[in-house]
A and B are shown apart, each in its own frame.
Chain A
Amino acid sequence: MKEKRLMSRRSAIFAGLTSAGALLFSGCLKKAPPTYGSILRMGDDLTYLGQRGLLSQRALAMEYQKSDITSFPVTDIGDPADPASKNAYSKEYEELKSNGFKEWVLSVDGSVAKPGKYTMDALKKLGERTQITRHTCEEGWSAIAEWTGVPLGAVLKEAGILSSARFVSLYGFDKYAESIDMLDAFHPQTILAHTMNGETIPARNGAPLRLRVETQIGYKNVKYLQRIVVTDKFVDPAADIKGGWSWYTGI
């Protein structure tokens, strides 16, 4: 008696999948970054929500052996210590660099109980993690290096991150900046690296401190760090979205 069946197996499977999908996304929709009406940015949001909903958020990116380490290209927007690089140039950075970064401090403010400035020694006391990971550039190339640094989560805890905080923006001296959500900020492999391949991070690889976020594409990894700002609301500090690029780059 096929006709009397309330629901066929096929429609049951379909209904099940649809409602599972709806449950999955309904909880996250409020967290989606703005799209400014662009269908491409809506697609980026779909990828963001899809990856947040379907993947493990604590899973570690692949870690490699020392023998896997490769050469590492520098393809940023310019040397902040070189006046010839115009937009990326920072007089302050040039002076800090000429003094071996002895005067350098990282400022942490925004939605934190204790906004302040951290010297390199103070940061190093907060913790240390070494990882050999792959840098995956949006251009298509990749490179493997060993990084040692302070877990970003440890810095945020030390600064007394408020419960309302949702995003972390990181600003470099080259006027480049990116923001990440709390899942990536507190990911165990998200570190502020001061050492690369066993040596103090070479100048153009982001001295004296750079971000490593291993679950996203290369351009999230801000170099030459100057300032960290914790926010309750979504910010797109270097205008990825307005510039026509995806803010979330887990793919």
Chain B
Amino acid sequence: MTASQNQETPSPRHKRWVKSTHFILTLSFLALAISGYEILMVHPRLYWGKAGNDLTPALFELPISRNYHHGGWEKSIPFKHLSGSQVTAARTYDIFNENGWGRSTHFLAAWVLVAAGLIYLVAGFFSGHFRHRLTPRRGEFSLRLLWADFVSHLGKQPDYSGKYGLLQKVTYLWVIFFLFPVVILTGFTMSPAITASYPFLLKMFYGHQSARTIHFFAALLLVLFLLVHLVMVIRSGFKRNLWAITFGK
């Protein structure tokens, strides 16, 4: 796409609260993604169920730090009065662990994300933004049309009208009303104090480690969304789009 074409198409117009919350949410999401990756590096094993650790079987493991498959354990000692095969063992390996800043950055950024997200939600509902601009209009939505819109995004030059397209609307609604709630609630489910007050979270997500695994996949989808979002922003006119979401009227 050339610069002259950019000038011919209408510039997207974003409301002031969309612009400011978008900026805050972007920064806090980046901080959460980076610190979340660091936290995952410390224990790159994921499980399903109520609890899981190095002495229990993993769902899968990720080779993303020196902690991956480290064999630094003393001989395991079985518990005498348990009927199962549970053991205890001491770790001898000096693991990678930067969770001091990693965890605190994660939770600080989460506060910012939740606060800005709430402002965005309240403003979105009350201003009719969700209803008028993000909800597909009657007759606009069908799986066939969605597929057609998806295919058109793969083409050399995506359609650009200055308004949200069908695929864009559906994706944004999915991210706002499904992925973010899931990633926030599964985050809550890993907190001992929050789950003491709200034990239903542990039931809802099948336990502490299941919540952690769901948190990982939801975060992965959010990062994937971010990447595709960035590619589409670049393809449909990076400078104009960036200007519109930052300073535009």
Taking beta carbons and an 8 Å cutoff, which residues of A are in contact with B?
10, 13, 39-44, 46-47, 50-51, 55-56, 59-62, 64, 67-76, 79, 134, 136-144, 196-199, 202, 204-205, 214-217, 243-246, 250-251
With A136-B192, A197-B81 as known contacts, state yes or no: A72 contacts B107, CB within 8 Å. Answer: no
A250 touches B104 (CB 8 A): no
CA distance A50 to B43 in the complex (A): 27
Q: Give CA–CA (A243, B202) in the complex, Å.
A: 32
- Name A62's contact: one of B82, B87, B105, B196 (CB within 8 Å): B196
Which of B211-239 touch A at CB < 8 Å?
212
- The answer for the CA separation of A144 and B47 in the assembled complex, in Å, is 14
Q: Which residues from chain B contact A246 at a C-beta distance below 8 Å?
A: 100, 103-104, 107
Mark interface residues in B103-139 (1 if CB within 8 Å of A CB, else 0).
1110110010000000000100010000000000000
5 smallest beta-carbon distances between A and B, as pairs? A43-B108, A250-B193, A140-B43, A71-B55, A198-B81
Q: Are A73 and B53 in contact (CB under 8 A)?
A: yes
Q: Is the CB of A55 within 8 A of B194?
A: yes
Chain A residues with CB under 8 A of B194: 51, 55, 250-251
Chain B residues with CB under 8 A of A44: 104, 107-108
Total A-B pairs, Cβ < 8 A: 169
In the assembled complex, which residues on chain A have CB atoms less than 8 Å from the CB atom of B77? Answer: 202
Pair B191/A250 contact, Cβ less than 8 Å: yes
What are 6 inter-chain pairs, A to B, with CB distance below 8 A? Answer: A40-B108, A41-B104, A70-B56, A139-B42, A141-B54, A215-B193
Assembly CA distance A47 to B110 (angstroms): 10
Q: Roughly how many angstroms separate A19 CA and B66 CA in the complex, as a whole number? A: 48
- Tell me if B243 counts as interface (CB < 8 A to partner A): no
Chain B's closest residue to A198 (CB) is B81
Q: How far is the CA of A73 from the CA of B56 in the complex (A)?
A: 10
Is A199 in contact with B51, judged by CB distance below 8 angstroms?
A: no
- Known contacts A144-B50, A215-B192, A246-B104; decide if A138 and B86 are in contact (CB<8 Å): no
Query: What is the interface of chain B, defined by CB distance below 8 A to chain A?
Result: 39-40, 42-43, 45, 50-56, 73, 76-77, 79-82, 84, 86-91, 95, 97, 99-101, 103-105, 107-108, 111, 122, 126, 190-197, 199, 202, 208-209, 212
Closest to A61 in B: B196
Contact of B53 among A50, A60, A143, A199 (CB under 8 A): A143
Q: Is the CB of A141 within 8 A of B53?
A: yes
Q: What's the least CB distance linking B218 to chain A, in Å?
A: 16
Partner of A69 from the list B53, B76, B84, B100 (CB cut-off 8 Å) is B84
Q: How far is the CB of A18 from chain B (nearest CB, A)?
A: 12
Distance in angstroms from A39 CB to nearest chain B CB is 7
How near does chain B come to A85, taking the closest CB pair, in angstroms? Answer: 10
Q: Are B50 and A59 in contact (CB under 8 A)?
A: no
Q: State whether A136 and B88 are in contact (beta carbons under 8 Å apart), knowing that A46-B108, A141-B43, A141-B52 are contacts in the complex.
A: no
| B residues near A197, Cβ cutoff 8 Å | 79, 81-82, 86
| Interchain CA distance A76-B191 in the complex, whole Å | 21
**In the bound complex, how far is the Cα of B191 from the Cα of A215, in angstroms?**
8
- A-B contacts besides A139-B43, A140-B45, A244-B100, 17 pairs, CB < 8 Å: A43-B108, A47-B107, A61-B195, A61-B196, A62-B195, A62-B196, A70-B51, A71-B53, A72-B53, A73-B91, A75-B90, A75-B91, A79-B90, A137-B43, A138-B99, A198-B79, A198-B81
Residues of the A chain whose Cβ atoms lie less than 8 Å from the Cβ of B212: 140
Chain A residues with CB under 8 A of B100: 243-246
A139 near B90 with CB under 8 A, answer no
B76: min CB distance to chain A, Å? 8
With a cutoff of 8 Å between Cβ atoms, the chain B residues found around residue A72 in the complex are 53, 55, 86-88
Q: How far is the CA of A140 from the CA of B208 in the complex (A)?
A: 10
